[in-house]
Amino acid sequence: MSNQQDDLSALLKDSGETTIEGAMAKAEAAVNSLDSVTLNIALTGESGAGKSSLINAMRGLQEPEEGSAPTDVNECTMVPTKYPHPTMPNVILWDLPGIGTGLFKPDNYLEKVKYQNYDFFIIVSASRFKANDLMLAKEIKEKKKNFYFVRSKTDNDVTQNERKGVKEEETLRKIRENCVANLKELGPPPVFLITANDLQRFDFEKLRDNLEKDLPENKRNVLLLSLPVYSKECLDQKYNAFKITAWAVAIASGAIATAPVPGMSLACDVTMVVAFLTKCYFSFGLNDESLQKISKLAGKPMLEIVRESLVVKALADDSLATTIATKLSAAGVAESMCSLVPGAGSTAAAGISFVTTRSVLLEMVKELYSEAKKVLEMAGVE
Ligand SMILES: Nc1nc2c(ncn2[C@@H]2O[C@H](COP(=O)(O)OP(=O)(O)OP(=O)(O)O)[C@@H](O)[C@H]2O)c(=O)[nH]1
Ligand SMILES: [Mg+2]
């Protein structure tokens, strides 16, 4: 009995609720939000500024990879084009046509691109600051939407100036000052220097931080989890987000099945746990496609190392449900007769406690995190 009481206290504490019903409702909402919350991000700016290239970078794709946005030195994107994230289709990056191109004249540009549909705008600008950049920023602000000013292709400026003996910091300082001065009538402008060729370099991390801070709480994780793992910090933040959500999955996976003693001795819907860990696996870049890409870049066989992990191997060959059931069974010891019940949505029935499910989940997320960290280390990413 005391175990059950401890379990209930842990469940209420993690959820921050005072009743079991409240905790279950909150948990289900938290779990569902990862799939159902949509995030529409618009990238705008002049033709050739680097919008499509940044979209590809944010989706972890490189042209001419399947599903990537076409990029070119010539005018390229002619209609607003939707790029859902490859593994989180609820996160959509919109590649807008360059302002002033084709039918998209500056005077009614925002109406034409249906500005209402986007959560926020990223204005992409390369080389010299353009009158259209300021006009866009002003109009977006007037429409009460947030914008972030991205000065792209910073790598080019740094390289060119280095040839003339100008240090990187000096180049960055000058570009930043120029953008800030041009936008100053709009208040302290959110300016970020980036290169689509390497998100870890310059200000992309800061941009992500700012975007997240400005988003409503339910959309924050969705953005973070959709980005490729471009730095160790990014991986750590993703790990944190998954750890924080584990309580909700542990509760929600139990809420579906009929618990023998309501709220205390929970059953566990293994399908839901598998779905959560699958998200984690893709978000950490442990799927074959991501690994092959990073292996090629680093010239090292990453695939071999991560396949030593039981969880990664099970996710890769679709046998995770059985692995989880076995782990739950082992962890739940005497209280549980954990088995996969046919026809009940892979529900491991009979008294798996909340604390047990949560600890098994956390252990598996940690294993995936360690594998992803190894990959980054081998690839030389800091
Ligand atoms: N060095 C460097 N080149 C970049 C970067 N971003 C884009 N480019 C190059 O700039 C050119 C134009 O980039 P796009 O991404 O096609 O530009 P866009 O804004 O989508 O252009 P439109 O579709 O015509 O509106 C391409 O040749 C890209 O390879 C960057 O950060 N660094
Ligand atoms: Mg384009």
Query: How many whole angstroms from 76 Cα to the centroid of ligand 2?
Result: 5
**Which of 161, 196, 225 corresponds to the end of one domain?**
225
For residue 79 the two structure tokens come to: 């209609």
Q: Are 168 and 195 in contact (CB under 8 A)?
A: no
DSSP for 224-274, please give it: HHHS---SHHHHHHHHHHHHHHHHHHHHHHHHSSPPSBTTTB--EEHHHHH
For residue 223 the two structure tokens come to: 């953005």
pLDDT of residue 348: 39
**Which of 158, 192, 225 corresponds to the end of one domain?**
225
Q: Does residue 335 sit in the same domain as residue 273? A: yes
Query: Could you give the CA distance from residue 140 to residue 115 in angstroms, rounded to a whole number?
Result: 8
Q: Does residue 115 sit in the same domain as residue 235? A: no
pLDDT band at 195 (very low <50, low <70, confident <90, very high): very high
Residue scoring higher pLDDT (341 or 4): 4
pLDDT tens digit string along 23-76? Answer: 888 998 888 888 888 999 999 998 889 999 999 999 988 777 888 888 876 666
**Ligand 1 near 358 CB (within 6 A):** no
**Residue 62: which domain range?**
37-225
**Which of 225, 256, 287 corresponds to the end of one domain?**
225
**Ligand 1 near 71 CB (within 6 A):** yes
Residue with CA closest to ligand 1 atom 7: 50
pLDDT of residue 99: 81
Rounded percentage of the chain residues whose pLDDT exceeds 70: 86
The torsion of the CA quartet 135, 136, 138, 144, rounded to 10 degrees, works out to 160
Rounded percentage of the chain residues whose pLDDT exceeds 90: 44
**Ligand 1 near 76 CB (within 6 A):** yes
Query: How many whole angstroms from 43 Cα to the centroid of ligand 1?
Result: 12
pLDDT of residue 74: 66
How many structural domains are present in the chain?
A: 2
**Ligand 1 near 180 CB (within 6 A):** no
Q: Does residue 196 sit in the same domain as residue 183? A: yes
Query: How many whole angstroms from 71 Cα to the centroid of ligand 1?
Result: 6
Torsion sign over Cα 10, 15, 20, 25 = negative
The helix/strand/coil state of 262 is: coil
Question: Could you count the other beta carbons within 10 Å of the beta carbon of residue 89?
Answer: 11
Query: Could you give the CA distance from residue 89 to residue 69 in angstroms, rounded to a whole number?
Result: 15
pLDDT band at 221 (very low <50, low <70, confident <90, very high): confident
Amino acid symbol at 174 = K
Q: Does residue 137 sit in the same domain as residue 178? A: yes
pLDDT of residue 266: 42
The helix/strand/coil state of 276 is: helix
Query: How many whole angstroms from 382 Cα to the centroid of ligand 2?
Result: 30
pLDDT band at 5 (very low <50, low <70, confident <90, very high): low
Q: Does residue 60 sit in the same domain as residue 208? A: yes
The torsion of the CA quartet 186, 223, 40, 128, rounded to 10 degrees, works out to 40
**Ligand 1 near 336 CB (within 6 A):** no
Residue with CA closest to ligand 1 atom 11: 73
Q: Does residue 6 sit in the same domain as residue 46? A: no
Q: Does residue 181 sit in the same domain as residue 326? A: no
For residue 44 the two structure tokens come to: 């705008």
Instruction: Name which of 203, 202, 204 is nearest 228 in CA terms.
Output: 204
Of all atoms in ligand 1, which is nearest to the CA of residue 101? 25
Q: Does residue 73 sit in the same domain as residue 108? A: yes
What distance, in Å, lies between the first and last C-alpha atoms of the chain?
48
The one-character DSSP state at 265 is B
User: Which residue is associated with the tokens 């109009």?
Assistant: 139
Residue scoring higher pLDDT (128 or 175): 175
Which of 284-308 are b and which e, b meaning 16 or more Cβ less than 10 Å from the residue's Cβ?
bbbbeebbebbbeeeeeebbebbbe
354-369: average pLDDT: 90
Q: pLDDT at residue 243 above 90?
A: yes
**Ligand 1 near 98 CB (within 6 A):** yes
pLDDT of residue 369: 97
Strands of the sheet with 340-341, listed across from one edge = 268-269, 347-348, 340-341
User: Which residue is associated with the tokens 């790598």?
Assistant: 155
Amino acid symbol at 97 = P
Q: Does residue 112 sit in the same domain as residue 174? A: yes
125-148: average pLDDT: 90
pLDDT of residue 254: 72
pLDDT band at 329 (very low <50, low <70, confident <90, very high): low
Residue scoring higher pLDDT (230 or 343): 230
**Ligand 1 near 155 CB (within 6 A):** yes
What is the number of the ligand closest to the CA of 196? 1
**Ligand 1 near 50 CB (within 6 A):** yes
For the chain, the helix, strand and coil percentages under 3-state DSSP, each to the nearest 5: 55, 10, 35
Q: What is the pTM of this model?
A: 0.85
For residue 134 the two structure tokens come to: 């300021």
Q: Does residue 10 sit in the same domain as residue 74? A: no
Q: Does residue 126 sit in the same domain as residue 206? A: yes
**Ligand 1 near 58 CB (within 6 A):** no
Q: Does residue 23 sit in the same domain as residue 129? A: no
Report the CATH number that the domain containing residue 150 is assigned in CATH: 3.40.50.300
